[in-house]
Structure 1
Amino acid sequence: MGDGGAARAPRDVRALPKAHLHLHFTGSMRHATLIELAERDGITLPDALVEDWPPRLSAADEKGWFRFQRLYDVARSVLRTPDDVRRLVVEAAEDDVADGGRWLEIQVDPSGYAARFGGITAFTDLVLDCVRDASARTGLGMAVVVAANRTRHPLDARTLARLAAQYAGRGVVGFGLSNDERRGRTEDFAPAFRIAERAGLLLAPHGGELRGPEHIRVCLDDLGAQRLGHGVRAAEDLELLDRIVQAGVALEVCPISNVALGVYSDLTSVPLPELLAAGAAVALGADDPLLFGSRLAGQYATMRAAHDLTDDQLAELARMSFQASRAPEDAKAEGLAAVDAWLKPA
């Protein structure tokens, strides 16, 4: 029996080719790897990273962000050897490939690892070597975004910008600014971004997550942001959103982390439809899967469910992720063609 007009089953989001533009280094670690490395070295992990994983998080106040940052720092402490770093990068690449990833820009603050790995230059060399190795082993195109920490002195950011500039064209494609955007004065980091800009690096600071449209304006005006880490709260100011659209500034939207950190109460409140309706370029990202419990395909799946997205809309999100990336033009073209192939009738 049947009427011949049954609706086609939704396509598999894990098979949808996509680029991943917002993934933090330690936050990309597999939970099982965290547990294994901690046991190896006798590191006692907090319950929030073991039995109660993924942790219940909220960054609505400074105490909440401190707890989030403490868990991140504990996780980073299990990386003791170059082989640990190599394992993290390979597993992150494998997980992205399993989720349909074709290109990954992984974000790292070398100063957070410098003490254990011989300084920021030595650690950056190690990461780039691991990225080349992981890319060769998995077939995933990969690059690095060097990010400064806004809770440190702006002079430290300049040092990192000069470091990133030295590696421009050799695996480093961008320069960012991360951590709690309510801390420090964003405009004080402008000199670091000018160094990165002169080197031709993509300028991709965090903004518009824990603070609203007023901070996005600072990121645009003072830092010259070409892509925004998060940027989701641009939906609260239609004039600003139009400016972002006209300037071609892409938004790295991380829905599950937005809800976990209390930016939105639930996934249906993440204003993805409003951003898309305005014409904004959006690339979905996982942010920190280790702390939020969801990887790349999970962002597409939850947004599909929360906002009843069609396969055509999911495909457009995937296209925008390639277009907003710093992937080589041939890799972008291959990715876009693969998205079109995903959409074709079976």
Structure 2
Amino acid sequence: MAREVRSLPKAHLHLHFTGSMRPSTLLELADKYGVHLPEALRSGEPPKLRATDERGWFRFQRLYDAARSCLRAPEDIQRLVREAAEEDVRDGSRWLEIQVDPTSYAPRLGGLIPALEVILDAVDRAMRDTGLEIRVLVAANRMKHPLDARTLARLAVRYRDRGIVGFGLSNDERRGFARDFDRAFAIARDGGLIAAPHGGELSGPSSVRDCLDDLHALRVGHGVRAAEDARLLGRLADRGVTCEVCPASNVALGVYDKPEDVPLRALWDAGVPMALGADDPLLFGSRLAAQYELARDAHAFTDEELAELARQSVRGSVAPEEVRRGVLADIDAWLAAPAG
């Protein structure tokens, strides 16, 4: 008999803002604003995606942009964050770090600073409403100019006391160079934020190395392609760099053909810390607990190993020590309880 993974306490470190939306909420907001959504977003089923070529990635981005266009007012932002928190609580999350690029919402929310303040206000309200501890990572878009990233880094540091804890770099890692954004990440690090760029999903091990060498990453978004380079795995393990692994999205985007192909065991066996994440549940159809189910069903992770994955997610977070101690103790209690 196996224990229920939803009741396993855990931290969630890889969740994108628009991608956290419930499909039903997207449909309601689209109707509210008269937005014509692509059929792939109206069907109620996760869209068929394969982003390993440029056409596939363009389609993914087009769907994401269509969903984001339905977030037009502060009450929409508040609803999204509250519902994302509710889903996380249901899946056993005790600490959520949600990633957002506020420039994407600025045109409809009065500008960059007002947009960020609306987002942070929504996070504060969601924490009060659900009891979930939530923090924010501001992410630059690598498809935009590096100067834009520097602006975002300065803004993120300015609002650090409002719950911003990290700085990321998202979008197609096959475009541009990580080193183009080194100054933005230096600004963020100097301001006390952790570096958590994306790498090692659509591109191979070299993109993970660039995150380490050029951006001094403490965490890597995805990072699974590091499994193709044994020396890189050793480096991640030695440095204790947590990879935010999102198995369902890796399969949905065509990085791997089936769940069994995601190299969870390779990273585990090499001693690389992992934090399982849902990435974009709106588009990939599964949330946090489902990632742990996948580790169990496709990779035969035992309850003891799932508990250790949960511990690694907590250790990889920026949660304060007293929060970590409490969640780690509850993980031990989950494992000590009878199965079934």
Same topology, TM > 0.5:
yes
Give 1:86-125 correspondences, 5 Å limit.
Answer: 86-125=78-117
Which position in structure 1 is the counterpart of 2:30?
A: 38
Equivalent positions of 1:52-67 (< 5 A) are 53-67=45-59
Aligned to 1:273: 265
Q: Kindly indicate whether residue 166 of structure 2 is the aligned counterpart of residue 174 of structure 1.
A: yes
TM superposition shift of 1:77: 0.5
Q: How many residue pairs end up in the alignment?
A: 338
Shift of 1:169: 3.4
Matched, 1:222 2:241: no
Q: 1:157 and 2:125 equivalent?
A: no
Corresponding residue for residue 251 of structure 2 = 259
**Could you tell me whether the CA contact under 8 Å between 2:15 and 2:280 is conserved in 1?**
yes
- Deviation track 1:242-279 (CA, whole Å, cap 9, x = no partner) reads 01111111000000000011111100011101101111
1:5-55 CA-to-partner distances (Å, cap 9, x unmatched) read xxxx10000110010000000000000000011111211111100126210
State the secondary structure of the residue aligned to 2:71. Answer: coil
- Structure (1 or 2) with the greater helix fraction: 2
1:72 matched to 2:67? The reply is: no
Q: Runs of at least 4 residues of structure 1 off by over 4 A?
A: none
CA–CA separation in structure 1 for the residues paired with 2:329 and 2:44: 42
Judge conservation of contact 1:231–1:252 (CA < 8 Å) in 2.
yes
- Alpha-carbon displacement from aligned partner over 1:97-123 (angstroms, at most 9, x marks no partner): 000010000000001111111111111
Question: Structure 2: which amino acid aligns with 1:191?
Answer: R
Q: Report the Cα distance in structure 2 between the residues aligned to 1:52 and 1:140, rounded to whole angstroms.
A: 27
Deviation at 1:224, TM superposition (A): 0.7
CA contact (8 A) 1:47 1:53 kept: no
Unaligned runs of 5+ in 2: none
Alpha-carbon distance in 1 for matches of 2:237, 2:254? 26
2:281 to 284, 289, 295: 289
1:142 aligns with 2:149: no
CA-to-aligned-CA distance 1:196-237 (integer Å, 9 cap, x gap): 010110100000000011111111111111100000111110
**Structure 1 residue 137: Cα displacement:** 0.9
1:311 aligns to what?
A: 303
Aligned identity (percent) is 63
Please state if 1:235 is matched with 2:239. Answer: no
Instruction: Name 1:16's counterpart in structure 2.
Output: 8
Aligned Cα root-mean-square deviation (Å): 0.8
Q: Does the CA contact (< 8 Å) of 1:245 and 1:280 recur in 2?
A: yes
